[in-house]
Chains A and B, each alone.
Chain A
Amino acid sequence: KAGVTQTPRYLIKTRGQQVTLSCSPISGHRSVSWYQQTPGQGLQFLFEYFSETQRNKGNFPGRFSGRQFSNSRSEMNVSTLELGDSALYLCASSLGQGTTQYFGPGTRLLVL
């Protein structure tokens, strides 16, 4: 069974631009969660989608948004990029509530 895939793996953007990251979950998984990982703040929860609906949201500004498609693939978007948005963005999929999350390799975003 293929694992969680994320594209692109690396991105370089400049301040003020926007970016869209993509995540394809493990086949059969309907829950997709997004995390931001930085050296200073560690792993922080962004949001979770299940069956195209956002079920949970972390404490991030509205510039961070996401969506999930009918095939469970998910995208997250960051608008008006700031230098502090430079991070590794991780996607994790699972079958649903209380089940194991499996992480993808992440997308490393650098904002200049």
Chain B
Amino acid sequence: GENVEQHPSTLSVQEGDSAVIKCTYSDSASNYFPWYKQELGKGPQLIIDIRSNVGEKKDQRIAVTLNKTAKHFSLHITETQPEDSAVYFCAASIGQNYGQNFVFGPGTRLSVLP
């Protein structure tokens, strides 16, 4: 079945620096890759997503890139701020004819130091 790996597990950056989180997936049929941010005591919140027919997507300080050949996708956060500190999860859709089923990476705890 689908397996999603995520690195690094923890990441500390200085405020204003960039942060990059990388994920790899195994199922070549996966075609939708969302990224979620989870703050303490809250459910995951979607921050950006990308579909397999697109190589890159950007939303202000956040960007995601996808390499379907290599089966990896990355989250890029520029000009980090203390409020970016949270756990970030990547996910990959499981290739099926129907249904809404995702496999999540183990998460990256990002700390932005002021």
Partner-B contacts on A (CB < 8 A): 4, 31, 33, 35, 42-45, 48, 50, 55-56, 58, 90, 94, 96-106
Tell me the smallest distance from the CB of B52 to a CB of chain A, in Å. Answer: 10
A42 x B43 contact (CB < 8 A): no
A43 x B34 contact (CB < 8 A): no
In the assembled complex, the Cα of A101 lies from the Cα of B106 at a distance in Å of: 18
Say yes or no: A45-B101 contact (C-beta < 8 A), given A98-B32, A103-B36: yes
Partner-A contacts on B (CB < 8 A): 31-32, 34, 36, 41-46, 49, 89, 91, 93, 96, 98-107
In the assembled complex, the Cα of A31 lies from the Cα of B65 at a distance in Å of: 27
Question: In the complex, what residues of A have CB within 8 A of residue B45's CB?
Answer: 103
Tell me the smallest distance from the CB of B1 to a CB of chain A, in Å. Answer: 9
Task: For B44, give its contact among A56, A99, A103 (CB under 8 Å).
Answer: A103
Say yes or no: A102-B46 contact (C-beta < 8 A), given A42-B104, A43-B89: yes
Q: Chain A: interface secondary structure?
A: strand
In the assembled complex, the Cα of A12 lies from the Cα of B37 at a distance in Å of: 27
In the assembled complex, the Cα of A58 lies from the Cα of B46 at a distance in Å of: 22
B44 and chain A: residue at smallest CB distance: A103
Say yes or no: A101-B34 contact (C-beta < 8 A), given A43-B104, A90-B43, A106-B43: yes
- Residue pairs across A and B with Cβ atoms less than 8 A apart, 14 shown, are A35-B104, A42-B89, A43-B91, A43-B104, A45-B102, A55-B98, A94-B100, A97-B99, A99-B100, A101-B46, A102-B46, A103-B43, A103-B45, A106-B42
A31 x B100 contact (CB < 8 A): yes
Question: In the complex, what residues of B have CB within 8 A of residue A106's CB?
Answer: 42-43
In the assembled complex, the Cα of A103 lies from the Cα of B100 at a distance in Å of: 13
Question: In the complex, what residues of A have CB within 8 A of residue B98's CB?
Answer: 55, 97
Question: In the complex, what residues of A have CB within 8 A of residue B43's CB?
Answer: 4, 90, 103-106
